[in-house]
A = this chain, B = another copy of it.
Amino acid sequence: MPWAGTLGSVSREGVTPQSEDFSAWYNELVIQAELVDRGPVRGTMVIRPYGYRMWELLQADLDGRIKEAGHGNACFPMFIPESYFKREAEHVEGFSPELAVVTVAGGKELEEPLVVRPTSETVIGEYMAKWIESHRDLPLLLNQWANVVRWELRPRMFLRTTEFLWQEGHTAHADEEDAMRETMWALGAYAGLARELAAIPVIEGEKTPSERFAGAERTYTIEGMMRDGRALQSGTSHYLGTNFAKVFDITYQDEDGKLVHAHTTSWGMSTRMLGGVIMTHGDDKGLVLPPRIAPYQVVIVPIGRDEAAERTAAAARDLAGELKRAGVRVHVDDRSQLRPGYKFNEWELRGVPVRLEIGPRDLDGGAVTLARRLGDQGKEQIPLDRAAELMPGILDDFQAFLYTRAERFRDEHTADVESWDAFPDQVSQGWARVFHCGRTDCEDAIKADTAATPRVIPSDAPEEHGVCFRCGEPSAYGKRILYARSY
């Protein structure tokens, strides 16, 4: 059995209903479904096998896209000399409050403290400068899968933890055009991952200046709507211009022999995406996992006592073998000390897309009983000998169903807002499509009153002009932008 012993018994109480207290629902669910446990140090998490497998499935897909586009994976040290870190002024200002610092090592006080990387632009910039000499060395396309540390005062599993896992792409290019092409490539890869694997219908676009990455010229994001109407940013891509190239001296000789600064980018997708999956699809009963990232796509529960139990367990194992050969991730829950109803609840809490029940009567009729986690609520019987052949299609349909459901939810909770009056209500349960003046003081006032912030200037929004819904000044950005409360 895969992960023998890693499936403990879920508490019988279930979780606080989502509709009652979204935040309590989330916090209880991630623990009870055994995705994570609280770490020993404030704000850290232990990712348990059931949660980590989802991360691996996301990782495998994104890593394929990254490699296919010509990037090489690397591994840079996680300890960054404090002096490197301080070179880019905006960058250090943005990250300083969140740093963890090693001051003692090998039994001695260090001469120079070491920052545990919160992100790696600085250390990678140092090596780009060393490795790049000529225009022939460009583009330099690097990526790393790594853990990073940002000290969190308001931690929340997956969404904001002191240590988290991510990939960070870092690339250097001859000019702005090539660097921007890369920046948009990464954004597209994240959007594809979110839509195709996580079944999150994200909106792509640029961030307003106040929401930019510390040190970037332009920051792009993908934003998804959670089931409480808040927005979650689950991947960002930055065009850094020559900001880091100038402080780290990343230069190259162009074709005329002239020394020029490179243009760099960086982009990251983290374990935060798993928080997005939970909050986009989950319901009162627990997790609802998109098949493409579900650790188990199908769980088979054999039913019956005594010798009936032996027959159905044997049939369950045979079917599991067939499903595996058909490329389905399947688990047989043959724990004899637990009753079927308990198991059904547990696998619903854990979000398994499809449950197959095999009882003696199913077997006699050459059938198996299928129950989907959502959608077609009733159980149906399918022929046992065709189950393996049908399953990939059933899972694809379920994946598509989750996407469409989330898209409908998002669209139903998004509205054009023309005036300040209507705004607080809209952002209390969804997103507002608004004209905004683009001024920071106006953004700040809106945030102070409603906690809502500009999430994204959608790439595909039509050109439109109007007046700021808050202050009445002419609108910026040439289009409506999305405003929402966010994680």
Q: Given the complex of chains A and B, what is the CA–CA distance between A76 and B47 in angstroms?
A: 6
A415 interface residue (CB < 8 Å to B): no
Asked, given contacts A2-B70, A52-B74, A73-B56, whether A106 binds B151 with beta carbons under 8 Å apart, the answer is: yes
Chain B residues contacting A172 (CB-CB under 8 Å) are 5
Shortest Cβ distance from A171 into B: residue: B5
22 A–B contact pairs at CB < 8 A?
Answer: A2-B72, A4-B141, A5-B137, A5-B139, A5-B140, A6-B72, A6-B142, A8-B137, A37-B127, A37-B130, A39-B76, A39-B77, A40-B123, A41-B114, A49-B72, A49-B142, A52-B72, A52-B74, A53-B72, A77-B162, A78-B147, A136-B337
A84 interface residue (CB < 8 Å to B): yes
A98 interface residue (CB < 8 Å to B): yes
Shortest CB-to-CB span from A143 to chain B, Å, is 9
Given A2-B67, A2-B70, 17 further pairs, Cβ under 8 A: A2-B72, A6-B140, A6-B142, A37-B130, A41-B114, A45-B77, A47-B75, A48-B74, A49-B72, A79-B100, A97-B106, A99-B105, A100-B106, A101-B102, A105-B151, A116-B116, A146-B147
Shortest CB-to-CB span from A269 to chain B, Å, is 16
Q: Given the complex of chains A and B, what is the CA–CA distance between A75 and B44 in angstroms?
A: 11
The answer to whether A49 and B74 have CB atoms under 8 Å apart is yes
Chain B residues contacting A50 (CB-CB under 8 Å) are 72
Shortest Cβ distance from A124 into B: residue: B46
Chain B residues contacting A149 (CB-CB under 8 Å) are 79
Q: Given the complex of chains A and B, what is the CA–CA distance between A240 and B67 in angstroms?
A: 40
Please encode chain A, from 115 to 139, with 1 for each CB lying within 8 Å of some chain B CB and 0 for all others. Answer: 0100000010011001101001111
A427 interface residue (CB < 8 Å to B): no
Contact of A104 among B77, B78, B100 (CB under 8 A): B100
A375 interface residue (CB < 8 Å to B): no
Quick one: which of A37, A79, A126, A140 has the most chain B CB within 10 A? A79
Shortest CB-to-CB span from A293 to chain B, Å, is 15
| Chain A contacts with B in 315-359, Cβ cutoff 8 A | 335, 337
Please encode chain A, from 152 to 176, with 1 for each CB lying within 8 Å of some chain B CB and 0 for all others. Answer: 0100000000110100000010000
Oligomer: number of copies: 2
The answer to whether A103 and B106 have CB atoms under 8 Å apart is no
Shortest CB-to-CB span from A7 to chain B, Å, is 9
Contact of A127 among B46, B72, B105, B165 (CB under 8 A): B46
The answer to whether B105 and A102 have CB atoms under 8 Å apart is no
| Chain A contacts with B in 292-331, Cβ cutoff 8 A | none
| Chain A contacts with B in 222-236, Cβ cutoff 8 A | none
Chain B residues contacting A47 (CB-CB under 8 Å) are 74-75
A365 interface residue (CB < 8 Å to B): no
The answer to whether A41 and B81 have CB atoms under 8 Å apart is yes
A450 interface residue (CB < 8 Å to B): no
Asked, given contacts A6-B141, A71-B3, whether A100 binds B105 with beta carbons under 8 Å apart, the answer is: yes
A107 interface residue (CB < 8 Å to B): yes
Q: Given the complex of chains A and B, what is the CA–CA distance between A131 and B9 in angstroms?
A: 10
Q: Given the complex of chains A and B, what is the CA–CA distance between A44 and B125 in angstroms?
A: 17
A188 interface residue (CB < 8 Å to B): no
The answer to whether B97 and A101 have CB atoms under 8 Å apart is no
Asked, given contacts A70-B2, A113-B104, A147-B147, whether A77 binds B41 with beta carbons under 8 Å apart, the answer is: yes
Shortest Cβ distance from A130 into B: residue: B37
The answer to whether B107 and A97 have CB atoms under 8 Å apart is yes
Nearest first, the 3 A-B pairs at minimum CB distance are: A49-B72, A106-B151, A3-B72
A448 interface residue (CB < 8 Å to B): no
Contact of A102 among B37, B77, B80, B116 (CB under 8 A): B116
The answer to whether B113 and A76 have CB atoms under 8 Å apart is no
Please encode chain A, from 377 to 409, with 1 for each CB lying within 8 Å of some chain B CB and 0 for all others. Answer: 000000000000000000000000000000000
